[in-house]
């Protein structure tokens, strides 16, 4: 793999950009791999990358029924933060946030990480107490956050209306090193690095069955034929329940749609990310000038990847109270993604009842920010059979009642 650099750009410019090689290979599947990862989204590709980088396991296939990064990885609002309440959550999200900071250099691919800062607005006295508690917990966890005053919020976000008609801004939980990254670039960067290590990324290849013998996984059935493996990782977000059923076990998750939209592009007016949980919306401005807007997940189970006018009306109507200027904007496009929700709003990174079969799911609406930390933990679990980052996120915690409740810290939809 040729390294990307300023010199490479200059060289190819002189050759009319005819010498660029493909970012990753598109091979036919082999008969057997040491490990198969089902799902070529951010979490699946990160798992494969860290299997190779950290554990030397490179005879790996990443199987995707659609196209690389075409699921939730390409359908989110790109927010990155680690200001969670519970210790296990803070640890894995902070690991992810720190890996994002060096990801462009590690992958030799610009993922456009922007540590612009994230504010979670407190618009009720209950939220003030909740965020102050989180700020104290984050201090003990080594996560740099602090509770800021309304005046500080206004200084960071000049376009905000502090005196809302229903919910005035009473302060906010500020994480200065949170921010955003380019979602598709994260998937492409991991895919390029995996391919360079000799891993196979197989697109348009749907898994139709999981084969096992004597309680151990043997391989998968696909639309491109059977493929054997020693270890299997299921990393398919909203379709985790479908794959688990093929493998013979059930997961305590439900799949719902999460919708988002962007406005027409405008001049720069907001250089931080703002989450307004009480009025139920969050917003940032992209590098192209679009206002990226999201809200809560749908209130019913579904597998749709489309938006709905009802949801747009609810989300935009709420945000207009806090950001009156957006009432004059036109919507450019909308979309939906399928998210998998657990009862405690925390993920599952776990062994399964099927031997050598592992699952990574349940990230709900907070999956993008966790991609590198999730991949790091999942790879360690698959390679070694255990991972300190994943230890508390087992399937069995629901049976044992050891919940990792992040329903408050997850915010409006994160």
| Whole-angstrom Cα Rg for the chain | 21
pLDDT one-digit tens code per residue, 185-226: 999 999 999 999 999 999 999 999 999 999 999 999 999 999
- Segments of the chain assigned to CATH 3.50.50.60: 23-81+183-252+344-400
Poorest-confidence range of 288-302, 349-363, 388-402? 288-302
- Segments of the chain assigned to CATH 3.30.9.10: 118-181+255-342
**What class has domain 23-81+183-252+344-400?**
alpha beta
pLDDT at 312 (0 to 100): 83
Q: Model confidence at 414, in pLDDT bands (50, 70, 90)? A: very low
User: Cβ of 375: how many Cβ atoms within 10 Å?
Assistant: 28
pLDDT at 187 (0 to 100): 97
pLDDT one-digit tens code per residue, 257-275: 989 999 999 999 999 999 9
pLDDT at 397 (0 to 100): 95
Q: Which contiguous run of DSSP H or E holds residue 219?
A: strand 216-222
pLDDT averaged over the chain? Answer: 93
Tell me which residue of 91, 69, 93 sits closest to 80, measured CA to CA.
Answer: 93
120 vs 173: CA distance, rounded Å:
5
Whether the pLDDT of residue 280 is over 90: the answer is no
Are 389 and 378 a contacting pair, CB within 8 Å?
Answer: no
- Average pLDDT (13-28) is 91
pLDDT one-digit tens code per residue, 134-193: 999 999 999 999 999 999 999 999 999 999 878 899 999 999 999 999 999 999 999 999
pTM, entire model: 0.95
Query: Which whole-number Å values give the CA distances from 356 to 41, 284, 325, 359, in the listed order?
Result: 21, 41, 53, 10
How many angstroms from the chain centroid is the CA of residue 269? 26
Domain 118-181+255-342 has CATH 3.30.9.10: yes
For residue 42, which phi and psi values (nearest 5 degrees)?
Answer: -60, -45
Please give the share of the chain, as a percent, with pLDDT higher than 90.
82
pLDDT at 166 (0 to 100): 85
Are 113 and 150 a contacting pair, CB within 8 Å?
Answer: no
User: Which token pair is 119?
Assistant: 């504010």
């Amino acid at each position: 793999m040729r390294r990307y650099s300023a010199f490479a750009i200059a060289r190819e410019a002189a050759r009319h950009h005819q010498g660029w090689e493909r970012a990753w290979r598109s091979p036919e599947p082999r008969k057997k791999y040491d490990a198969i990862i089902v799902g070529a989204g951010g979490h699946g590709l990160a798992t494969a990358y860290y299997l190779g980088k950290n554990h030397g396991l490179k005879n790996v296939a990443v199987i995707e029924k659609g196209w690389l990064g075409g699921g939730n990885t390409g359908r989110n609002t790109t927010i990155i933060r680690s200001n969670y309440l519970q210790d296990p959550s803070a640890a894995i999200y902070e690991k992810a946030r720190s890996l994002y900071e060096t990801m462009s250099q590690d992958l030799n691919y610009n993922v456009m990480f922007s540590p612009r800062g994230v504010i979670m607005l407190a618009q009720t006295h209950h939220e003030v107490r909740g965020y102050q508690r989180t700020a104290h917990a984050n201090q003990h966890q080594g996560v740099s956050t602090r509770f800021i005053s309304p005046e500080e919020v206004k200084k960071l976000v000049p376009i905000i209306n502090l005196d809302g008609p229903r919910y005035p801004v009473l302060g906010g939980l500020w994480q200065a090193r949170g921010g955003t990254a380019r979602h598709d670039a994260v998937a492409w960067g991991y895919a390029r690095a995996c391919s360079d290590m000799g891993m196979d990324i197989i697109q348009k290849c749907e898994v139709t069955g999981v084969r096992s013998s004597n309680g151990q996984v043997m391989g998968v059935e696909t639309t491109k034929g059977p493929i054997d493996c020693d270890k299997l990782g299921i990393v398919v977000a909203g379709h985790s329940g479908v794959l688990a059923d093929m493998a013979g076990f059930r997961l305590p998750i439900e799949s719902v749609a999460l919708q988002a939209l962007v406005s027409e592009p405008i001049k720069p007016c907001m250089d931080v990310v703002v989450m307004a949980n009480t009025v139920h919306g969050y917003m940032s401005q992209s590098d192209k000038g679009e206002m990226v807007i999201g809200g809560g997940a749908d209130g019913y189970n579904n597998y749709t990847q489309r938006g709905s006018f009802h949801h747009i009306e609810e989300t935009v109507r709420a945000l207009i109270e806090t950001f009156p200027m957006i009432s004059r904007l036109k919507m450019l496009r909308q979309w939906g993604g399928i998210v998998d929700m657990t009862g405690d709003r925390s993920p599952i990174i776990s062994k399964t009842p099927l031997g050598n079969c592992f699952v990574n799911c349940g990230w709900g609406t907070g999956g993008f920010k966790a991609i590198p930390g999730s991949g790091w933990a999942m790879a360690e679990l698959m390679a070694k059979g255990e991972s300190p980052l994943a230890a508390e996120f087992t399937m069995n915690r629901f049976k044992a009642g050891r919940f990792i409740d992040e329903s408050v810290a997850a915010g409006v939809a994160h």
